[in-house]
Structures are given as structure tokens and as C-alpha cells.
Structure 1
Amino acid sequence: MVRMDPKLVVAILLLIAVSATADYVRPKARKNLDFPRKSRGSSHPHQVHISVAKDKHMRITWVTDDASSPSVVDYGISPGKYTASAQGESTSYSYLFYSSGTIHHTVIGPLEDDMVYFYRCGGGGPEFKLKTPPSKFPITFAIGGDLGQTGWTASTLDHIGRCDHDMYLLPGDLSYADYQQRLWDTFGELVQPLASARPWMVTEGNHEKENIPLFKAGFQSYNARWKMPFEESGSNSNLYYSFEVAGVHVIMLGSYADYDEYSDQYSWLKADLSKVDRNKTRWLIVLFHAPWYNSNKAHQGEGDDMKAAMEPLLYAAGVDIVVAGHVHAYERSKRVNNGILDPCGSVHITVGDGGNREGLAEKFLNPVPEWSAFREASFGHGELKIMNATHALWSWHRNDDDEPVRSDQVWITSLFSSGCLTEKRHEFRKILMSP
């Protein structure tokens, strides 16, 4: 039997949330930031970001203008003293009249958990510092989607930088390059201070497509620049994958990859969920771009087909929290499944308002659906602090005149501790055995 701290019990009682629509009025969207071209050596590493690779390993990604620059990372636990080195791979791509720099991907490790490492890319250049995630609770995720590179994006990134987080989760729409490939480069520069220090785990949104029928396949830029651990998780596509960290299994699904019951993504998801041992992995979180539960007028119904195909599988597996982007407003649901309140359903959270140039989606549907607990049109970010096997604290921090203001907060109890998983095991086995 799990004993709870009395202070935690009091906090839970004080944070009972009621259905609400905030009357907050947000200023209009800000323009894209101006990025003057920088003068640097051709082998100078830039757009550095890190992501989780296989167990106890990190992938370091960076870009150089020089194709001959080595894809090597030197690293160690003391500044300027590198005790290990790893060799990786490089790629590049062309898009109409644009040619990318050389994009390097190098996996380092094994690494100690919850440890600071110092590293440099390409055998020279500046030194960077990263911190690996913890191996056990507590763990803190910063979460936000639809970033772009506007003045509001800069505000959001500043606030995330103040948050003592272990990892950043981004449910789609990164750069808002929209075919203008130089904007992928400026986005990489913009996020480097944060993305080079903590793992950024992302999935694709509609603005990553960039397909040109009969000429260019979709997601070329995204796949080349933001390589995620899809192979390590048994997926055959960079558009969907999973990873495990500190007792949390995180699944990143693709709203813009085939997802019906005959698709590769559905088959992979089914297999991935079957491998999760909930006696050891107490929390199950899923992210994708187009929300399944949305009471905003924007993008209404766009996630319905994916929801029809995959929600029964997520419900049977006991997914605790589902996070989406796409809609440029914040919304949090109560536990819901198949459109109705269900104590064994998932909490759905929409965070498609990191700072995009398109502005906020300020028009909500009325009356408020029974499943909607809180909704607000504001730029900002979320923080998910998973305290232990049974409780997590979710909070939403809006960018109120460039100051982070917490406007929503709630304790979430895991389905593991509620007894729901025992009831679901038979149901899940039936789905796994279905053709």
C-alpha cells in the first residue's frame, strides 16, 4: 500500500478543478523574429540539439557548412576534459533552390542518469553542456507545441528556460518554415540554447509536411534535421516512435502518417503497447498533433478519424495523459473516452500555442462540453511534474506580458493507482489477439 505525504493530500484537496473558460484577453500575434546572418567558420557547429536515443544514450545533432567536417562528439563530466568520443553519421538535402548544410547525428553513451556532461561537436568549436534525465521519479517535462519563431516564441522559450525541467516534449509544428528552408536554420539557432542542454523529443505537425505533389515527398526537411529514436523503438518511420524514461513510457504518434487499423503505424502502436510492463512503468503518455478532444471552433473534427481508429487501443492500454497541439489555444479535459466522462479514460491536453505567427484561436464552442475542464486562448507552455508512481502535477503557464503566469493547475492520479489497469488487461488482451 502506497503511503502519501499528508501535505500532498492537502494540496490535492485544494486543487480540485472546475469546468471553466478563462476570460483572459490575449494581445495579438507578434511578427517573426529577425535573424541577421552570422559570420562563422565553415566547420563551426550550429543548430545543436539533443534527443534521447537508445537506453542511456543521447543523440547529438548539429549542422556545419563544411561537408568534410567530422561527425564526432567528444564528451566528459568535467569542462574541457573529454574522456570519451563517438563517431556518427551525416546527411544533407536539397529543396528547390536551397541546399542544406551538413547535418550530423552522433549517438553518445552509455551515460549516467541525472548527470551533467560537457561536449563539443566536430572535434572543435564551442563547448556545450547537457544534463541527462533521471532514472526514477520525480521527473519534470516542459511541454508546448506550435512554436514558430515569433516574439511570443521567444517569450515561451525564456519561460521554459526558467523551468527546472528534465526534458521538452513538442507535439508538432516546430519551425513554421512552410517551404522557406532558411527558416529551418533560424529555428535551429533560436532553440539551440535550450535544445543543446536538455533532450527535445518532437513529433510532426501539418507545417512539417512541405510536400510538393509529383516533385517532393513530405517531411524531407523535418526527417533530415530532427531524427528521433524510431529505429530503437521498432518503428519504420521517424513520424512515430516511443521511448522510456524514469518509469514513464512516452509514445509520439503521427497525425499525418497512415493510422487506420491496417496501417504500419497502428500495427506498430499495438506491438509497442504490448511490450509495456505497467508493474514497472506506472505512467503512459501519448503525444500527437491534431487533438481528439477540442471545444475550439478552430480545426474542429480534424482528429476524429484518428480518434476512431486508435482511441479504443489507447483506452484498453490505460493511457494516462494525451497531449496535442494544432489548435492555437490551451485546453484541458477531465478523464474521457468515446466522448463521455470515464474515470478510466485519458486526460487530454491541447497546447498548440507556443508562439506561432498565425495568432491565437480565440473562439470556443458553447455550451462548454461536459468533458472540458479548463480552456484559454493564450500563448505559453505546460509543465508536467511526475512526482511518483501515483501522482503528477500539471500546470499551464501563459505568457502574460512576457511574464509566466500559472493560470491552470491540477493533480492527476495515475490509472495504475486507481485500479483501472486491472479491469483493462482482459480487454487489452482481446485487442492484441484480434487480426
Structure 2
Amino acid sequence: MEMKTKTMISTILISVLLSILLPVRTDYVRPQPRKTLHFPWNPKHPSVPQQVHVSLAGENHIRISWVTDDKSAPSIVEYGMSPGQYNFLSQGETTSYKYLFYRSGKIHHTVIGPLEHDTVYFYRCGGQGPEFQFKTPPGQFPVTFAVAGDLGQTGWTKSTLNHIEKCKYDVHLLPGDLSYADCMQHRWDTFGELVQPLASARPWMVTQGNHEKEKIPFFTDAFASYNARWKMPFEESKSTSNLYYSFEVAGVHVVMLGSYTDYDELSDQYSWLKADLSKVDRKKTPWLVVLFHVPWYNSNHAHQGEGDGMMMAMEPLFYAAGVDLVLTGHVHAYERSKRVNKGKSDPCGAVHITIGDGGNREGLAQKYVHPKPEWSVFREASFGHGELKIVNSTHAFWSWHRNDDDEPMRSDQVWITSLIGSECLAE
């Protein structure tokens, strides 16, 4: 009896000691919004390239985009595999646009290639200015995507970009809401400068969100600024609109759709999507990933039900094609689902991930629906980014990294098995 009492006392003392020495685990405290970044005036020579970014432009080709204030600056790109040694030269095209009293600079788009896979290229835009470099994606697995939507230009945006820069990724995917210019066109220019260090070094593949609309009836068309500045490979993928297109990386077919253009069964986007999915060779590209802005599966009070119309029209196409993963933005919080279809878990449906919390100025969407839907696995209101590493034809590793006091904290992760080889895709 005495021995038992001593043991109990010892256990209590150890517990008390551990509670003092070890940190107490508390609930995650959601960060407050941070102020919009301010960019000091930094005059440059009119012909010096600004806002440089690169994107994929068909098989083994890259599109390099930049802006100059000099309207006569040439749209040439010199490039090669060694610093300062440019063995190749490509000529591109230019555009510009007006928005009320704003006049854009000369916007250059130049496609270079064919290029080798997984190779660093050094390049110079317009025949002068600084030298940049980018790495082409690999031609086979593994391949890694960084994912962050609703970026904006705040202190949290900067934190997210810093974390993405540390990630060994091959392509950045952005499911809408880039600059949050919202008709103030100089904010497109500052956004271009903000993301240039990353966007000039890896392909950035984007689709539009509601903050890209910027339509003023009788004065400006919707998406005029977005389409002029961020040209994507829509022509290369047989699309008639820059608002929806597809591309392939290693063994992944990626489809970028438009939540804010017609998507019903009589629309051009629907017809293009149906044709694009029918041409996917799952033996060549066993993974099928789709991005758009407004989520279909969302248990947050914010933007509840906004994606229902698009889901009703297009989810049957996704299901028939065996889409593995859907990445969306719009809701300023993170959420991951099970494989789901028609509003409930389905082993042949797609995994849906909402990641519209890169750093927007509007703050986080903190109110969730209760009880949590059975298809929802993990949800959290926090700023951050995701990383999708597709290891081989059957397995991929997804991880969510929230910005925790400016340090990346992995708070969700999961292995995803592709539908390739499953009964879902049985011929």
C-alpha cells in the first residue's frame, strides 16, 4: 500500500514537472490582415524590362512577358545555357491597353524554344537590361507544383512568396485573384514588380478571378488588363479565350477554367473542355488536375453556393474523365475534401482543395458551416501556400503550409492516389 502511494505521488510530480517544462498546446490563433504594401517610386530607363514573368507555351516552349515604358523597345529575347552567352534569339509580339485615364506600357510576349527539360536558361529581354534565368520543368516524374491563390499585395503576400521561394518547385499554379488592382491600374504594375523575382525564374500558370473583371460598362471590357498582361497558352491548347486553356508538365495534364465566363452546356468553354478532356492520353499523362476560381465544395459561410451552377454543368465531365484533383481560390481559407461527386464522398470523384488565402487584403474567412460536411477532411482559416509533389504515375504528396508568425508551418498533408488503373477509368 505504501509502495502504491509513493508511485502515485511520483506520477503526479512527474506530470507537474512536465507541464512546467513542456509548452502547452493551444488552439491555432488566426493572424490578422496585414496592410497593403507600398512601393516607393523607382524610376527606370524607359527601355529597361519590367515585370518580367515566364509561362509555359506549348510543348518544350516558354513565353517570356515583360513591360517597357519605351514604345519602340524591341520584343526580342536572347537566351542560352551559360551566363552572358546567348546562342539563340526569338522575336515576339506586343500589345497595350487603355483604361480610362491610364495608359499601359508596351507589353511584350515572346515565345522561345524548343528547350530541354529540367535545364537552366539565362536570358535577356529587349536586348538590354539585367540578365534573368529560369529552369524548365522536368520531362518525367517527379514534378512539384507550388499553389497559392488570391495573392494580392499585402504583408502576408510577401510572407507567402518568401515561403514559396524556399520550395523546390517546378511550376507555380494560381487559381485566380492576382493583383487586386480593382480598376487601379498602377497596382498591376506594382504586382508585376512584386512577383518578378519568382515569376521570372519559374513558369507561373494563372487563371482569372473576380478581382480581374474590372469591367466599366461603356468604357472598358472585362479582363482587358489581365488578358493583356498575363497571356497564357490558350491558342496552343486550341482554346479561343485566354480565360480557359490547358497544358502538360511531365505526366500531368492541367486544365485552367474560367469561373467568370460562360460555362453552360451551350457555351464555348464547355465545348472546349469536353474536347480537351477527350484528347487526354492517361497513359502519357496519368494525372488530371483542374483549376478555377470559385470552389464547388465549400463549407465556409463565405461565397457559399456561388459555384453551384458551374458544378452542375461541368462536374459530369470531370467525373467521366476521371479528374484527380481540383484546386480553387475565392474563399479566403483552406479546405481539403475527400474524393467527392454530386455532393457526397465517391471513390471515383475528385479531391477538391480550396486555397484562396495567399495574402489578400480582405482578411480571412473564419466562419465555417457546422456540423462539418462528411466530405470535408480538413479546414483552416490561415494564410499560406500548398505544395503538390507528384512522385510517380500513381502517387502524389500534398502539403499545406500556413504562414505562422512568418514561418511556414505544415498543418495538413496527405498522400493522394491517382485514378489511373482503377475501376473508375476502366474502358
Q: What is the TM-score normalised by the length of structure 1?
A: 0.92
Judge conservation of contact 2:100–2:219 (CA < 8 Å) in 1: no
Judge conservation of contact 1:24–1:376 (CA < 8 Å) in 2: no
Partner of 1:172: 176
Partner of 1:321: 325
Alignment partner of 2:124: what SS? strand
Partner of 1:9: none
Alignment partner of 1:120: what SS? strand
Judge conservation of contact 1:378–1:398 (CA < 8 Å) in 2: yes
Partner of 1:15: none
Q: For 2:227, which of 211, 223, 228 is the aligned residue?
A: 223
Structure 1 runs of 4+ aligned residues shifted over 4 Å read none
Judge conservation of contact 2:259–2:294 (CA < 8 Å) in 1: yes
Judge conservation of contact 1:72–1:123 (CA < 8 Å) in 2: yes
Give, in whole Å, the separation in 2 of the partners of 1:249 and 1:76: 28
Partner of 1:117: 121
Give, in whole Å, the separation in 1 of the partners of 2:30 and 2:188: 27
Note if 1:38 corresponds to 2:46: no
Give, in whole Å, the separation in 2 of the partners of 1:300 and 1:330: 14
Amino acid at match of 1:101: G
Give, in whole Å, the separation in 1 of the partners of 2:193 and 2:421: 42
Alignment partner of 2:420: what SS? helix
Aligned residues: 402
Alignment partner of 2:160: what SS? helix
Give, in whole Å, the separation in 1 of the partners of 2:59 and 2:418: 24
Give, in whole Å, the separation in 2 of the partners of 1:356 and 1:78: 38
Partner of 1:406: 410
Amino acid at match of 1:385: K
1:419 is displaced (CA, Å) by 2.9
1:23 is displaced (CA, Å) by 4.4
Alignment partner of 1:416: what SS? coil
Partner of 1:288: 292
Give, in whole Å, the separation in 2 of the partners of 1:29 and 1:238: 32
Partner of 1:247: 251
Partner of 1:144: 148
Note if 1:56 corresponds to 2:63: no
Q: For 1:348, which of 334, 342, 352 is the aligned residue?
A: 352
1:355 is displaced (CA, Å) by 0.0
Partner of 1:19: none
Superposed CA RMSD: 0.8
Larger Rg: 2
Amino acid at match of 2:107: I
Partner of 1:79: 83
Give, in whole Å, the separation in 1 of the partners of 2:116 and 2:284: 20
Amino acid at match of 1:168: H
Q: For 1:383, which of 387, 390, 393 is the aligned residue?
A: 387
Give, in whole Å, the separation in 2 of the partners of 1:329 and 1:24: 14
Partner of 1:47: 51
Alignment partner of 1:314: what SS? helix
Amino acid at match of 2:245: Y
**Runs of 5+ consecutive residues of structure 1 not aligned to the other structure:** 1-21, 426-435
Partner of 1:418: 422
Give the 3 Å change call, closer, same or farther, for CA 275–50 of structure 1 in structure 2: same
Partner of 2:363: 359
* Superposed counterparts of 1:120-269, under 5 Å: 120-269=124-273
Relative contact order (alpha carbons < 8 A, sep ≥ 6): 1 or 2 greater? 1
Judge conservation of contact 2:66–2:107 (CA < 8 Å) in 1: yes
